[in-house]
Structure 1
């Protein structure tokens, strides 16, 4: 669509705010066909009917006690993964992934942690709460997403944010975070890939958190229950856009990666 046509459509819309506007087809190209993308957790894929729909932005909404980040580690086994590491240095994340026996050859780290916390001379710097630095780190993230979009066109990839809570905690205007979410969303759709945003429950300002959950196509909600005898982790999938809602609750343990219990009694 030309710039002239876009401007005309906007002008017509503005001039007829109180009138019934005619239907106008503005869609010039079809969205990519969705196919199933495996997660590398076979029981989860079976529960999802073969995997997650391609082009899905997935929010992993996790209890901080659950070790939910291991889902991210295992997801890297399905395909090449661009791993945005901001809560910890990538070398420690890499070591943890290897400790579970997972391959790491297909992981490309984007080192947000060092860009935010470490100077060019290797010194730790306290940038927490610095609005200017926080805004720049979002710009740095968006710049890397644009590079990934160019590099990974036509490829089957994951984009992983460990964690997205890092961004929700930044001292920036909420509009900047909404812009970042939109860049992730558009990148995911255009590459027809999977993106995973790992966030901690009961941590963030509700309006911002709910806006993030609304934008995502899929929500994995992870809960941890503890009694005097054991700790029990549960995975629920309350949102699965474009598919029938998954009603089954999956119980899992962290052993050699994520091990899902197939028994029906989850009490």
Structure 2
């Protein structure tokens, strides 16, 4: 079995046979109005984290980490400017050292660039993650107006995590699925989450 990198969430690691395969590029999709951003904070716990932010400023991301209840190490932050997100992102990920986590939040700005350049970016990102036994998380916001290159992200990613919420008059139910996992088996069932101040697995159903 390929080396695994823990996610920091015990039940998820158990379902993934220890975590993400080392060298993976992960596409993590969630609705903008959800608390799904908490999962990014949890994923930063196990390893040094390098955070590329395309929307919020570095100080805003730093404040969010500091105010979060997640006991994560403060990440190294880089802002991706609107005019050259691919070039800035490429320079940043080439400096990611062995055994690290890279988060790009959100990936939407990259997905609005030219297709061939974005494909080259993803290929180079995958190569660097494999060469350094690291993992990259592309945070992809789900909406009715998702970027045209979202299909490219899903196709080239090694792992796809999909977070869905169902809102009723009395409850908000949050579940994640992992329909794609190169180097392992995709999950056949969803995992129910409780998103409060931390990401917790709802063990009342489905997961023992």
Q: Same fold, TM exceeding 0.5?
A: yes
| Counterpart pick for 1:259 among 200, 205, 208 | 200
Residue 176 (1) aligns with residue 124 (2): no
Deviates more, 1:176-185 or 1:189-198: 176-185
Residue 141 (1) aligns with residue 84 (2): no
1:225 equivalent in structure 2 = 166
Q: What is the distance in 2 between the residues matched to 1:263 and 1:52? A: 25
Q: What are the within-5 Å matches in structure 2 for residues 79-158 of structure 1?
A: 79-112=47-80, 116=81, 133=83, 136-148=84-96, 152=97, 155-158=98-101
Q: What TM-score does the superposition give when structure 2 sets the normalisation length?
A: 0.90
Q: What is the distance in 2 between the residues matched to 1:194 and 1:147? A: 13
**Which structure would you say has the larger RCO, counting Cα contacts within 8 Å and 6 or more residues apart?**
2
| Counterpart pick for 1:163 among 106, 110, 113 | 106
Aligned residues: 206
| Counterpart pick for 2:146 among 204, 220, 224 | 204
Deviates more, 1:191-200 or 1:139-148: 139-148
- Determine which structure has more spread, i.e. the larger CA radius of gyration: 1
**Which digits, 9 at most, give the CA deviation of each residue in 1:223-258, with x for residues without a partner?**
111111111111001011121221121111222321
Q: What TM-score does the superposition give when structure 1 sets the normalisation length?
A: 0.72
Q: What is the distance in 2 between the residues matched to 1:102 and 1:252? A: 15
Q: Does structure 2 conserve the Cα–Cα contact (< 8 Å) formed by 1:79 and 1:106? A: no
Q: What is the distance in 1 between the residues matched to 2:135 and 2:32? A: 23
Q: Quote how far apart the aligned CAs of 1:142 are.
A: 0.9
Q: What are the within-5 Å matches in structure 2 for residues 182-201 of structure 1?
A: 182-201=123-142
Q: What is the distance in 1 between the residues matched to 2:2 and 2:48? A: 19
Q: What is the distance in 2 between the residues matched to 1:235 and 1:35? A: 23
**Which digits, 9 at most, give the CA deviation of each residue in 1:125-179, with x for residues without a partner?**
xx6xxxxx3xx3321211122233xxx1xx311011111012123xx32222222
2:184 equivalent in structure 1 = 243
Q: What is the distance in 1 between the residues matched to 2:77 and 2:133? A: 20
Q: Quote how far apart the aligned CAs of 1:205 are.
A: 4.2
SS of residue in 1 equivalent to 2:13 = helix
Deviates more, 1:96-105 or 1:75-84: 96-105
Q: Does structure 2 conserve the Cα–Cα contact (< 8 Å) formed by 1:159 and 1:195? A: yes
Quote the RMSD (CA, aligned, Å): 1.9
